[in-house]
A and B are shown apart, each in its own frame.
Chain A
Amino acid sequence: MEKLIEQFSLGLFFWQSVLFVALVLLLKKFAWKPILEAVNEREEGIKNALESAEEAKKEMQSLNADNERILKEARAERDTLLKEARELKDKIIADAKEDAQEQATGIIDAAKAAIEVEKQAAIADLKTQVAHLSIDIAEKVVKQELSAKKDQLELVDKMLGDVTLN
């Protein structure tokens, strides 16, 4: 301890204090302040960037969820639309079938009626013709040979056979 006190140099203490305090003040102004500020600024920047990235990520996620939802809705809508369309198609086809059936029935009925009318007309016509023919035959029979009863009958038979064939 005594040696320490003896060794103690006031001059060195003085110069060390002066130089060191000057160094602290100079470095504070020209080095530490700008360095620490720059580092702080950079750290803030990094922090902000990270935060905004996180935010963007969240936004992206919500956006994705939205998209998903919209897509789902769209799909559901498409499905209902398709279903409706299918139903409509079926209905239209069924309707058309019914209509066609009705019409076909109508046409057939009309055709039947027409055929009936034609048939009646034809029958009537036939009747007339038969009558005429009968008359003709009768005429001919009468005209030709009313002598031979046997021949007359043959003739009538022959004529009738012809008529039946007609």
Chain B
Amino acid sequence: MRRDFLIKKITFLLFLVSLVSMGQHHGDAHAQHDTHKTEESDSSLKVEIKEFINHHLQDSHDFGLFSYEDDHGKEHHVGFSLPVILFDSETGLNVFSSSKFHHGATVAENNGSHYKLYHGKIYKTDAQGTITYDDHHHAVNAKPIDFSITKNVVFIFVVGVLMFLIFTRMAKNYKTSVLPKGFGRLLEPIILYVRDDIAIPNIGHKKYKNYMSYLLTVFFFVWIVNLLGLTPVGINVTNNIAVTLSLALITYLLTTFTANKNYWGHIFWMPGVPTPMKILLIPIELLGTIIKPFSLMIRLYANITAGHIVLMSIIGMMFIFKNWIGSPLSFGLAFALSLLELLVAALQAYIFTMLSALYFGSAVEEHGDH
């Protein structure tokens, strides 16, 4: 009875927070272990949970929904494989299906080159799949440039298509009626909020229109991606430094290339300070232009990653506690944290958009009064 209850709850939570269900089987089997074995398996469980969280946070070359072990201890993966695109200095372009890797178990062969998936990265190897390590247990094999359509790329694409469909549909509605219809009723206030409370106060009435497309897209993109990251199929896109770097870089480039004389004047020849200070301020101000988007990148990445790590750790605690107090507590905590993450999802989208608007605003500011 007690175990049934636990299993039911775990199953529900697995569904709720996108934990791939390796542990359920494990927890089930674990309960049957003898008491003297418990301590040992507890530590292995902890390691497993830790690895699992790491795995969850990483990108992958195949679209795995979940995996499980059958009664014979054989691992099954449910999902589909994705195309791998590699640029190799020797053989050039290589395109093949990620199913060739068998989730890292086998060596993939294409055009006479051999590749092996190791810790989520593709390494060039020989037919046997030998991986050589350095002193710190890091693989030293050659890495081809990897342009694979990974799980995250697919997800970004899906989100893009979703956004395109939602917003073009909304735009079409305006052709027939002055007021928004359906989903647009929900979205219009948000769009107006981005315009009236983010873009206009920070950039100003004259120039804000040039940045609206980017601000709106980045706001909804980050928000939707964060929200979908919390769903059971959730794939975290914004906890990849590459994604946040890309977004921050676009903000940086837009700021730099739309900046007016006033902006550059403040960087290279700060008005109102003595000449030696002006010279001193040049490198500081220049560095500042880079630090601003850098902070954007780190903030989004760190917030989402931290949220997921904490959430998954709390869920993982459920498998460690396995008693009447610990598990409900974990459940309650996980539930509360999920709600918090919903807020964080929107908040991070808002902050990213807000700060981008602020930087654009400083780039197009007309008069130099501080």
A contact residues vs B (CB 8 Å cutoff) = 4, 7-17, 19-28, 30-36, 38-39, 41-42, 45
For the A-B complex with A12-B152, A31-B164 known, give 16 more contacts whose Cβ atoms are closer than 8 Å. A7-B58, A8-B242, A10-B147, A11-B145, A11-B147, A11-B153, A16-B153, A16-B246, A17-B249, A19-B156, A21-B250, A24-B217, A27-B213, A31-B168, A35-B170, A38-B175
Contact A9 B59 (CB under 8 A): yes
Q: Would you give the shortest CB distance from A8 to chain B, in whole angstroms?
A: 5
Contact with A along B284-302 (1 / 0, CB 8 A): 0000000000000000000
Q: Would you give the shortest CB distance from A85 to chain B, in whole angstroms?
A: 62
**Which of B149, B171, B245 lies in contact with A15, CB distance below 8 A?**
B149
**Given known A9-B240, A15-B147, A36-B195, contact A20–B170 (CB-CB < 8 A):** no
A10–B143 CA distance with the chains assembled, in angstroms: 12
Most chain A beta-carbon neighbours within 10 Å: one of B145, B150, B167, B213: B213
Flag whether B234 is at the interface (Cβ < 8 A). no
**Given known A4-B241, A12-B242, A23-B221, contact A30–B168 (CB-CB < 8 A):** yes
- Which residue on chain A has the smallest CB distance to residue B85? A11
Q: Would you give the shortest CB distance from B285 to chain A, in whole angstroms?
A: 24
Contact A30 B164 (CB under 8 A): yes
A4–B297 CA distance with the chains assembled, in angstroms: 12
Contact B247 A20 (CB under 8 A): yes
A155–B168 CA distance with the chains assembled, in angstroms: 154
Flag whether B22 is at the interface (Cβ < 8 A). no
**Given known A28-B213, A32-B213, contact A13–B246 (CB-CB < 8 A):** yes
Flag whether B13 is at the interface (Cβ < 8 A). no
Pick the 5 closest A-B CB pairs, nearest first. Answer: A31-B167, A38-B174, A28-B213, A13-B242, A34-B171
Most chain A beta-carbon neighbours within 10 Å: one of B149, B171, B188: B171
Contact A12 B153 (CB under 8 A): yes
Contact A17 B241 (CB under 8 A): no
A31–B168 CA distance with the chains assembled, in angstroms: 5
Contact A13 B245 (CB under 8 A): yes
**Given known A11-B150, A20-B156, contact A39–B164 (CB-CB < 8 A):** no
A-B contact pairs, 18 of them (CB 8 A): A7-B241, A8-B241, A11-B153, A12-B242, A13-B245, A16-B152, A16-B153, A16-B156, A16-B237, A16-B247, A17-B246, A20-B156, A24-B217, A27-B216, A32-B217, A34-B171, A34-B172, A35-B170
Q: Would you give the shortest CB distance from A93 to chain B, in whole angstroms?
A: 74
Flag whether B14 is at the interface (Cβ < 8 A). no
Q: Would you give the shortest CB distance from A26 to chain B, in whole angstroms?
A: 6
* Residue numbers in A under 8 Å from B157 (CB-CB): 19
Contact A9 B164 (CB under 8 A): no
**Which of B58, B152, B216 lies in contact with A32, CB distance below 8 A?**
B216
Q: Would you give the shortest CB distance from A15 to chain B, in whole angstroms?
A: 4
Query: B162-208: which have CB < 8 Å to A?
Result: 163-164, 167-168, 170-172, 174-175, 178-179, 188, 191-192, 195
A90–B121 CA distance with the chains assembled, in angstroms: 121
- Which residue on chain B has the smallest CB distance to residue A9? B242
A20–B237 CA distance with the chains assembled, in angstroms: 13
**Given known A12-B59, A15-B153, contact A23–B216 (CB-CB < 8 A):** no
Q: Would you give the shortest CB distance from A12 to chain B, in whole angstroms?
A: 4
* Residue numbers in B under 8 Å from A21 (CB-CB): 250
A7–B174 CA distance with the chains assembled, in angstroms: 44
A31–B174 CA distance with the chains assembled, in angstroms: 10
Flag whether B146 is at the interface (Cβ < 8 A). yes
A117–B243 CA distance with the chains assembled, in angstroms: 144
Contact with A along B225-246 (1 / 0, CB 8 A): 0000000000001001111011
Most chain B beta-carbon neighbours within 10 Å: one of A4, A16, A24: A16
**Which of A8, A20, A23, A32 lies in contact with B212, CB distance below 8 A?**
A32
Contact A31 B246 (CB under 8 A): no
Contact B160 A38 (CB under 8 A): no
Contact A12 B150 (CB under 8 A): yes
Most chain B beta-carbon neighbours within 10 Å: one of A8, A23, A24, A33: A23
Q: Would you give the shortest CB distance from A14 to chain B, in whole angstroms?
A: 6
